Amino acid sequence: MKISVFGLGYVGVVSAACLAADGHDVIGVDPNATKVDLIDRGIAPIVEEDIEALIASSVAAGRLSASMSVADAIHATELSLICVGTPSQLNGNLDLSYVRRVCEQIGEALRASSTFHVVVIRSTMLPGSMRTVVIPTLCEASGKTAGVDFGVCINPEFLREGTAIFDYHHPPKTVIGESDSRAGDVLASLYAKMAAPLIRTTVEAAEMIKYVDNSWHALKVAFANEIGNISKAVGIDGHEVMSIFCQDTKLNLSPYYLKPGFAFGGSCLPKDLRALTYHARGLDLDLPLLNSILPSNGRQVDRAIKMVTSRKQRRVGILGFAFKAGTDDLRESPMVDLIEHLIGKGFELRLYDKHVNLAALTGANKDYILNHIPHISRLMVDSVEKVMDFAETIVVGNKADEFRDVVGRLRDDQVVIDLARISGRTSDRQYQGICW
Ligand SMILES: NC(=O)c1ccc[n+]([C@@H]2O[C@H](COP(=O)([O-])OP(=O)(O)OC[C@H]3O[C@@H](n4cnc5c(N)ncnc54)[C@H](O)[C@@H]3O)[C@@H](O)[C@H]2O)c1
């Protein structure tokens, strides 16, 4: 393929060098004359393992060159990768001025182009940047229509400095956010030989994933450091602990616990976090990350409460209020917090959970309900239907199978607030997911 790479910084140089080494014809474009001159002389403008040799051989083979002319590059190529910087402004906000400028320049060059050129953003940009900045700027400057006269994709970059060339050839995944499938097909063909999952998705999800990945990586580092700090304070080797932690690929390093939804609860997570953070305070340790987990969890309960109370419908039904489906354990169930709050605000409630049935309960859980939350036991009914007949707002608290078809059975005046993702749909007039 004939490819332009805009921005000869870290990402642009690595992409240009690797694409040229793969046999593509690549033109690097940058307003910085020194970088352009260095590439043209076969010299790498960045420090990175193996980059010097790749650039020297590709330039010598005539597959890599550099230019300051946007128009020349656009007219000589069929696909452009935009790798310009997206730095922070002083207030932390994202500075899209380089992206805006390069889109104006590319748009002007596309005016005179009669072929279907695909513009691909590799720079990291917040969700919404493609629809509010990139696509309108390209359309306005070119006088053409995105998806018809030219294609637009976002293809976030996941390489790490220091191992960038290895990462380019062994990415954890390739993500293509496409505004039209024709552009997505052209870009996907570039990655056809990569042995990594190729994920084609919406432009917005592709924009978001880069921030989610980097936030997660940052969170992992901070978590490991705080665990290391506590471990050291109690005389344990933090590396030994985290090495054991990492061997659990069922619950620890896995998709488990990584689905957005309602707050956690139950008899272990809140209690054990409280004990660990209390103990750390006694050791004079400042652990802002671990200390923030329970408050964050509480905010998720507040969010659910607001979703119900803001509707101002007094009759509320709760389907599923044990902390997860298939258990009768109500200890520290965040659903019980929600229910108690609604009772306190004067809402009328009916509650149903197949596993929390007073007649069938024995032992500790029956004792807990009768002695700790008797006001809740009085609101319990024995079927989904009784809740549906009564309520205007129906809150689904866990993923029991019998709740799956609730959305399809709603009267026109009823709304479901889903805290458990019983349905794959996104929010609409009668269905509200807590974070989808
Ligand atoms: N550095 C990384 O490891 C890394 C990894 C993944 C993603 N990213 C993202 O990729 C983007 C680029 O990062 P970087 O570290 O390579 O940036 P950088 O600042 O090193 O390089 C940006 C280059 O863009 C050039 N440029 C500015 N305006 C231009 C224009 N109109 N036309 C052509 N070139 C122009 C600059 O002169 C500069 O050479 C950023 O959004 C960054 O967040 C970086």
Domain boundaries, the chain: 2-201, 203-250, 297-433
Predicted confidence band of residue 252 (pLDDT cuts 50, 70, 90): very high
pLDDT value of residue 158 = 93
Closest ligand 1 atom to 32 CA: 37
Sorting pLDDT into bands at 50, 70 and 90, what band is 361? low
Q: Which CATH class is domain 2-201?
A: alpha beta
Mean pLDDT of all residues in 175-187: 97
Tokens of 307: 């979703």
CATH hierarchy code of domain 297-433: 3.40.50.720
Residue 360: pLDDT band with limits 50, 70, 90: low
Q: What is the mean pLDDT of residues 184-201?
A: 96
Distance 8 CA to ligand 1 centre (A): 7
| CA 134 to each of CA 87, 108, 110: distance values in angstroms, whole numbers, following the listed order | 16, 13, 14
Indicate whether 324 pLDDT > 80.
Answer: no
> Is residue 356 very low, low, confident or very high in pLDDT (cuts 50, 70, 90)?
confident
pLDDT at 359: 61
Instruction: Taking the CA atoms of 231, 234, 237 and 240 in sequence, report the sign of the dihedral they define.
Output: negative
Per cent of the chain over pLDDT 70 is 99
pLDDT exceeds 90 at position 202: yes
Strand partners, 228: none
Q: Residue 311: its pLDDT value, please?
A: 93
Relative orientation angle of helices 269-282 and 203-233, to the nearest 10 degrees: 50
* 256-270 pLDDT, tens digit each: 999 999 999 988 999
Q: Who has greater pLDDT, 424 or 324? A: 424
Could you please report the per-residue DSSP string of 12-53? HHHHHHHHHHTT-EEEEE-S-HHHHHHHHTT--SS--TTHHH
Convert the pLDDT of each residue in 369-387 to its tens digit. Answer: 778 788 888 899 999 999 9
Taking residues 126-151, what's their average pLDDT? Answer: 98
Q: How far is the CA of 194 from the centre of ligand 1 (A)?
A: 23
How deeply is 228 buried, as exposed, middle or buried, from its count of CB atoms within 10 A (0-12, 13-18, 19+)?
middle
Q: Which residues pair with 175 in a beta bridge?
A: 199
Tell me what the mean pLDDT of segment 341-360 comes to: 88
Which protein residue has the closest C-alpha to ligand 1 atom 28? 98
Please report the atom of ligand 1 found closest to the CA of residue 84. Answer: 24
The confidence score (pLDDT) of residue 365 equals 72
Show the CA angle centred on residue 265, arms to residues 260 and 266, nearest 5°. Answer: 135
Q: Is the model more confident about 351 or about 370? A: 351
Structure-block tokens of residue 249? 């690929």
| CB-based contact 355:328 (threshold 8 Å) | yes
Q: CA dist 171 to 92, 140, 191, 385, Å?
A: 28, 34, 11, 50
Q: Give the tens place of pLDDT for each residue, 225-237.
A: 999 999 999 999 9
Q: Which two tokens stand for residue 295?
A: 């408050």
Quick check: 363 pLDDT over 90? no
Contact between 285 and 230 under an 8 Å Cβ cutoff? The reply is: yes
- Secondary structure letter of residue 133 according to DSSP: I
pLDDT at 325 over 90: no
Residue 332 has pLDDT above 90, yes or no: no
Name, in order, each residue with C-beta under 8 angstroms of 264's C-beta and a sequence gap of 6 or more: 270, 297, 323, 334
Instruction: Single out the catalytic residue among 18, 83, 103, 268.
Output: 268
Tell me what the mean pLDDT of segment 171-180 comes to. 96
State which ligand 1 atom lies nearest to the alpha carbon of 123. 41
Q: Is the CB of 84 under 6 A from ligand 1?
A: yes
Q: Is the dihedral of CA 75, 77, 79, 81 positive or negative?
A: negative
pLDDT recorded at residue 327: 78
Higher-pLDDT residue of 325 and 218 is: 218
SS3 of residue 298 by DSSP: helix
What's the CA gap between 387 and 319, in Å, rounded?
8
- Determine whether the shortest distance from the Cβ of 102 to ligand 1 is under 6 A: yes
217 lines ligand 1 (CB under 6 A): no
The 10s digit of each residue's pLDDT in 79-115 is 999 999 999 999 999 999 999 999 999 999 999 999 9
Please state the rounded mean pLDDT for residues 397-404: 93
Residue of 293, 305, 298, 262 whose CA lies nearest to 435: 262
Token code pair at residue 356: 């929390």
What is the reported pLDDT for 369? 79
Q: Does the annotation mark 268 as catalytic?
A: yes
- 324: tokens are 């997860």
The reply to whether 2-201 and 297-433 are identical in fold is yes
114 Cα: distance to centroid of ligand 1 (angstroms): 28
pLDDT above 80: residue 357? no
288 CB-near residues (< 8 Å, 6+ apart): none
Per-residue pLDDT tens over the stretch 255-313:
999 999 999 998 899 999 999 999 999 999 999 999 999 999 999 999 999 999 999 89
Q: pLDDT-based confidence at 358, cuts 50/70/90?
A: low
- In eight-state DSSP terms, residue 201 is E
Long-range contacts of 224-228 (CB under 8 A, 24+ apart): 226/287, 226/289, 226/290
What's the pLDDT at 313?
94
Pocket test for ligand 1, best of 14, 29, 30, 159 (most atoms within 8 A of CB): 30
